[in-house]
Chain A
Amino acid sequence: MLSKRIIPCLDVREGKTTKGVKFQNNVEIGDPVQMARFYYEAGADELVFYDITASHEQRGIMIDVVKKVAETIFIPFTVGGGISTLEGMRTVLLAGAEKVSLNSAAVKNPDLIRQGARAFGNQCVVLGMDVKKVGEKQGIDSGYEIVINGGRTYTGMDAVSWALKAQDLGAGEICLNSIDADGTKDGYEINLTRLISDTVDIPVIASGGAGTPSHLVEVLNQGRADAALIASMVHFGTYTIRQIKEHLHDRGIKVRKTW
């Protein structure tokens, strides 16, 4: 049967990997190409790179990073952050990424999902969703709202409706990030993950809040996620990918063993 995927996520700013808490206070933690190779050898199933470069002029640096990563690792990887046109998607895919993650740009222009899926195939288009718990209110039936611009702007869009709409438009996968849980190491947002996983037919990658291997057990079992994104817990050497996978394997979750 299919294995659950463990996916290290690297935030890249001006060519360097960084890590922040709730999208703030980022510290530099290394060279993304070297880190990609390290995680590839350590047994990561996939990688995600988010370009958090502030200025538009420096986006070219990210494309160089993508090209170097593609020559260095032979597993799929996704690139997201600041991609807002079909041409931007094409550039990233030709540089060697397997998938492109659309986030704010898809909220502002949902048709970009459809265009991308038609041009490159559904499997290339990942919808990145940043979600905040706001409680039930008008227009937000699920109590979870889509936010953009690193969590600073509320969109008035319900997370569940948006996930379904993106699937209909042709998204091949959803990367579901809880802003409330992001960087806290207190565990994933299980309710949110379960809600979205049970709603859509496409794979869901849970993101935000991973601190211990048991958090991954929760989100893959109770949350019914197909994959789990991790960052701090491996970036700072607290756990290795092998330790995490052995923990999951021992609890009956099927993972890809590379040792």
Chain B
Amino acid sequence: MIAIVDYGGGNLTSVARAVSHLGFTPLITGDGDRIKSADRIIFPGVGAAGSAMAAMERDGIDLAMNDAFAAGIPMLGICVGCQVIMERSEEDNAACLGLISGGVKSFPREMPVPLGGHLKVPHMGWNGLTVVQDHPLLHGVKTDDEFYFVHSYFPVPHDDKTVFAITDYGVTFTSALGRDNLFATQFHLEKSGEPGLLILKNFCGWKPC
């Protein structure tokens, strides 16, 4: 069973549908014990980091996530789910889970772009990846593959060893990161067509060392 962590507000059904489509069994849950007993954990994350963390703390999900990480359960964060694993976010100045060292920053406002106008925030739409470090979840991803992003903030890990892919949107930011049994993407795997499903499928069969 793959737990899809429900920490309030968002539409988790897209992720559940993608998991079902791949032939696996998703369970949308906000229950700490169920999360800890899952074979795998996906935390999609929606909305703002501050409200996501507040909901996690209220329901004891933060502790369950820490336990699951320590127990070696394969974990996958998506979008805000890749921000709450950092130590702190600029958004709401929120203290986060701290599973990976570093913070979460926002895109610069009013930054001019080459063809006129300025950088639009949120970064919304399809963009590519540059894989900077091999990872089993990225196996099969091709150079031209693009992924769907919707976000105004991005993770800034301290340790390069935790960075697996970067993306250029006026500034270059970390778009895939991880450590041990944890992997996370800033882009929406469930809305990124076949390349997104490929990474999701890799996760569903992933055996972290």
Interface residues of B in 144-198 (CB under 8 A from A): 144, 146, 148, 150, 168-169, 188, 190-194, 196-197
Chain B residue numbers with a CB within 8 Å of A2 are 123, 125-127, 169
Answer whether A3 and B127 are a contact pair too, CB < 8 Å, given A74-B18, A94-B11, A201-B120: yes
Are B148 and A75 touching (Cβ within 8 A)? yes
Other-chain residue from A1, A173, A197, A226 in contact with B168 (beta carbon distance below 8 A): A1
Total contacting residues, chain A, CB less than 8 A: 32
Are A3 and B146 in touch, CB under 8 angstroms? yes
User: By the criterion CB–CB under 8 Å, are B11 and A93 in contact?
Assistant: yes
Indicate with 1 or 0, residue by residue over A80-124, a CB within 8 angstroms of chain B CB atoms.
000000000000011010100000000000000000000011110
In the assembled complex, which residues on chain B have CB atoms less than 8 Å from the CB atom of A5? 125-126
List of B residues within 8 angstroms of A94 by Cβ: 11, 13
Is A156 part of the contact surface with B, judged by Cβ < 8 Å? no
* Interface size range on B against A: 35 or more
CB distance from B160 to the nearest CB of A (A): 23
Residue of A nearest to B148 (CB): A76
Whether B191 and A98, one on each chain, are in contact in the complex, defined by CB atoms closer than 8 angstroms, is yes
Q: Is the interface of B mostly helix, strand, loop or mixed?
A: mixed
Check if A40 is an interface residue, CB within 8 A of chain B. Answer: yes
CA distance A70 to B13 in the complex (A): 9
Output the least CB separation between B16 and chain A (Å). 10
List the A residue with the shortest CB-CB distance to B189: A74
Contact B124 A256 (CB under 8 A): no
Residue pair B150, A123 in contact (C-beta under 8 Å): yes
B127 partner residues in chain A, CB cutoff 8 A: 1-3
A156 to B182 alpha-carbon distance, docked (Å):
55
Say yes or no for A172: interface residue by CB 8 A criterion.
yes
Report the Cα distance A203→B124, complex, angstroms. Answer: 8
Q: 19 A–B contact pairs at CB < 8 A? A: A2-B123, A3-B127, A5-B125, A5-B126, A71-B17, A74-B190, A74-B196, A75-B193, A93-B11, A94-B11, A94-B13, A96-B17, A98-B11, A123-B124, A201-B121, A203-B124, A224-B116, A256-B126, A256-B146
The 4 closest A-B pairs by CB, nearest first: A256-B146, A256-B126, A3-B126, A123-B150
